[in-house]
Copies of this chain bind each other. A is one copy, B any other.
Amino acid sequence: MLYLVGLGLADETDITVKGLEVVKRAERVYLEAYTSILHVGRERLESFYGRPVIVADREMVESASDEILDGADKDDIAFLVVGDPFGATTHTDLVLRAQELSIPTKSIPNASILNAIGATGLQLYNFGQTVSMVFFTDTWKPASFYDRIRENSSIGLHTLLLLDIKVKEQSLENMARGRKIYEPPRYMTVSQCAQQMLEIEQEKQENVYSENSLAIGCARVGADDQKFACGTLKELCDVDLGPPLHSLVLLGKRAHELEKDYIKKFAVNEDTFEESWDKYHERSR
């Protein structure tokens, strides 16, 4: 059996009792380490589980899936995923490959950012579709997020933006020369996300949002040191929320007064917060 085990969001104790039982009895334990990260390293997991953990990078999952699945028809293999196994779409290939080989699969659910974002005080019922924001390069600035935000905004809903992480990436030069030398990991910050959002609005000028739109910058959601900063996109361009992972919520116009009462304690600037709220959001439903 291939088990996809959700690890939750923060540290080694966020695994469920059911998940831990799987890890303890599995033949091999892999840790998916390229779509998200825990706030503790492999060593901490290994000492908590009392057994070795194999870090699976993108290359291994994409090109050596049969190695991961080896023996899974007889024994249990655990594939650990930060958050919830359904949060990232990247494991679908592994599951489909398992099915081709007639290997049964099972998921052990856990918390994901999609519900933990409720810690902002925003109601989960008021969120539209979730979108991803990738690192722009000089020549590649994918803006499909802009259309998705427009759709959510058109019906007054909040948008959760999940921010890019780059782990074990090669530079173009190293890739061209076939050198397996990897760049240091990069994690997009709230500030970078706000800047990229404004860059695209500047370019498109379709008023999907503006410098004055209210948003909440979120860092390390689900961990003891989680941090939120509520402000305009312009204010969030200058905010520093510390270590990864970051995400951002753009408020929908239908935001409720009860939500306001909760989020104002995260205001970057209490004076501008009230003003922005009154300007850019309907008073209540």
Contact = CB atoms under 8 A, between A and B. Distances in A.
A207 interface: no
A214 interface: no
A118 B109 CA distance: 10
A14 B109 contact: yes
A128 B125 contact: no
A112 B115 contact: yes
A154 interface: yes
Interface string A1-22: 0000010110111111110110
Contacts of A16: 8, 13-17, 110-111
B15 A116 contact: no
Contact of A9 (B17, B109, B118): B109
Given A17-B20, A155-B155, A124 B130 contact: yes
* Copies per assembly: 2
Contacts of A11: 18
Contacts of A116: 84, 86, 109
Most buried by B among A6, A111, A131: A111
Interface string A197-212: 0000000000000000
7 contacts: A8-B110, A15-B17, A84-B118, A86-B124, A110-B111, A125-B131, A155-B155
Contact of A129 (B21, B115, B127): B127
A111 B111 contact: yes
A226 to B, nearest CB: 10
Contact of A111 (B84, B118, B127, B155): B84
Interface residues of A, number: 47
Contacts of A109: 8-9, 14, 111, 115-116, 222
The 3 A-B pairs of least Cβ separation, nearest first, read A86-B118, A109-B111, A151-B155
Given A16-B8, A17-B20, A119 B131 contact: no
A35 interface: no
Contacts of A123: 89
A134 interface: no
Identify the interface centre among A118, A119, A129: most chain B CB within 10 Å of its CB: A129
Contacts of A258: 92
Contacts of A115: 84, 86-87, 109, 112, 114-115
Interface string A50-74: 0000000000000000000000000
Contacts of A132: 125
Q: Which of A12, A16, A258 has the most CB of B within 10 A?
A: A16
